Structure 1
Amino acid sequence: MNSLSLKVERINDILKETINSIEINKNEITEIVEHAREEVNKIKAELSNIKKQVEKVIEEVDLLEIEEKKSKAYLANISKNFRIYTEDDIKIAYDRANEARIKLYLKREEEKNLIERRKEQELRLKSAIKVYKKAERVRKSVSVVTEYLRGNLDDIILTVDHLNKKQALGIKIIEAQEIERERLARDIHDGPAQSMANILIKAEICERLMEIDKEKSREELQNLKAIVRTTLSDLRKTIYDLRPMSLDDLGLVPTIERYIHNFTKHTGVPIEFNVIGNVINLNPAIETSLFRIVQESLNNIFKHAKATEASVNLEYSPNRLNLLIIDNGIGFDVDEVETYNNDSMGGFGLISIRERVELLGGKMEIKSNIGEGTKIIIYIILPEEEN
């Protein structure tokens, strides 16, 4: 069996393993979808029950308002004609009016609480439906991918030569993923995990001091609050590093603007951000990759370029997207750095940027000389559905 046949067989095995892995994940996603659907139905049933309670309480409030008005009118009538009524009659009328007032007050409070519960339940339902729809879309996407792989297995095998050329790139991607996972695990261990342990210790101290020294207990509670705030900030930073939520909520441009604002605030390096053309919503994978490219480029500027200013220029055109990042830093020898990238794990993070660009089917050009700053020029052809 020649080398090409071995490679084809190996690719075939990899594809089958990939399909099996996707099928397993597909089953797990299906379970998530079913759980989300059950949660939606459960909340709907609870909301329906609360609405019925609200309707019932409103009717009772209306009846009690009528009863209170009658009791007030009766008491007023007795007060005007107190000479013809006994003291017991007056007391009974007063007690009846007071009882009607109290009943109405309590029932109105019940109505108010039920309405608040209804609002909370409606928000829960809205959130649950959103989660369910997202899970359903993921399940459909996975199904499409699975069917595509099964239906195009022969066509995929024909791309062995192309895949061989991408082998080194694939290895770099896996290495980058493992490095990122290691960094994330370290960040969680050194940050939130340590803080949570500290919170537990502080909570136990507060519990013991509650009955011994209330003033000291109050101080420890203040310390505990500060630790919780720091932990929350660390968790938010970790989540943001994984994937900025604003990419889904606001889109690419506002997310880059926010990152540049925080970057300048943290590093003191002013960054000018320019957007040219009509902004369009891109595929989430494209927007995420573009954000990571900007993020990695600005980190390089801060760590290596010694720049005093930089600019990020994003241009939308009908069928392609252009990204230009410029700094006035110390620059470098492009040939030397790219040779270093090819022979080792990569310098200045440029290999990571280039990998992302190539995965998007784009092209990247670097212009730099020592002492003359750096320009990174990226062109990405947009898929038809983005046009």
Structure 2
Amino acid sequence: RLARFPVTVEMLSRLHPARIQRDILRRLAVGAVDILIGTHRMLGKDVIFKDLGLLIIDEEQRFGVLHKEKLKGEFRRVEVLTLSATPIPRTLYFSLAGIRDLSILETPPVGRLSVTTYLGKYDPGIIRRAISVELERAGQVFYLHNRIYDILKVKNMLEGMFPGIPIGVAHGRMKERELAAVMDEFAAGSIKILVATSIVENGLDIPNANTLIVDNAHKFGLSDLYQLRGRVGRYKLRAYAYLLIPPHIFVTRQAKERLQTINELTKPGSGFKIAMRDLQIRGAGDILGKRQSGFINQVGFNLYCRFWQEVSAKYTGKTVQQPAEKPQMRGVIDDAWLPSPGLRFNLYQEISGIRTREEAENLIRELEDRFGEIPGELEQLIFSQIAES
């Protein structure tokens, strides 16, 4: 993309031979490289910039706190832009509390369709039908199996179902050239079914791959599931994601909440809503420590958020709005429409914070996106908050 511009662009990663890496680092140190694109390799002690002005961190959720603190320590006077479809709870809360600026891109590419998501028990019949339908329309399939020790058994099972269909395997313990060759073949369309671990979570853009099957979906985080689902539906065709759970297995409450969330929020551009739900489920973690999630359940989400708003306000000079002594709300949420007491409680809290018509309309659209048509009494309750405020 930058070939026509008068800038020198280089890429640095462990996949490069040592000789090429040394040459890039030498030119970088003297200012002969204008833009350096790289992996975690850029965190090495031998990477020295002559005059760095802008640091862009893509897929921010893939970096740990120690990595971020290292970047912060080395580039104190550098403008930093972090990008993520699903920021981790700690980073998201930095923005919600006003510690960092936040911009949201909600508009998907023109023509992008939502991914039809199926959540259910593992069933070979479902797998056979899903893959058959995709192959019939000359498409390709991602099959996610996140255990390396028996990933070849999955490949053998699929070869038995679909004899003669090219099937590849990709995981992190493969040799670099072997892994690159498999991914190149899949991108070229030579491999029709790719059995892989979560190594394919980021960076792949295969417009012809529009069916995703995730084995043991309950073991993935909410951000991981969203990123994995983003591997399909990257063109104008309808894509399908099958999130499968082994039968007769215990699923934790948090896992159920994650799976319910990813099954509800399927529209393109839902990353921010999913990240907000992840923050509520897991907590914001240590603002001043290393943990990137946790602790909110001990004090409650809203109280935790309010605490940090008050702390940050002392340094920013902003005024924190005091809550009303009595909730001004007339009406109730029908428990037949929303059976979960926890979700109803959260919804009451959201409704109590409405101040403008735009906020009311945004909440109604979100509820319709998550739960379908809402009762007329609930819509009246939401709009009544405008008059009450």
**Shorter-chain-normalised TM-score: which range?**
under 0.3
Q: TM-score, normalised by structure 1?
A: 0.23
- Structure showing greater radius of gyration is 1
Q: Identify the structure with the greater helix proportion.
A: 1
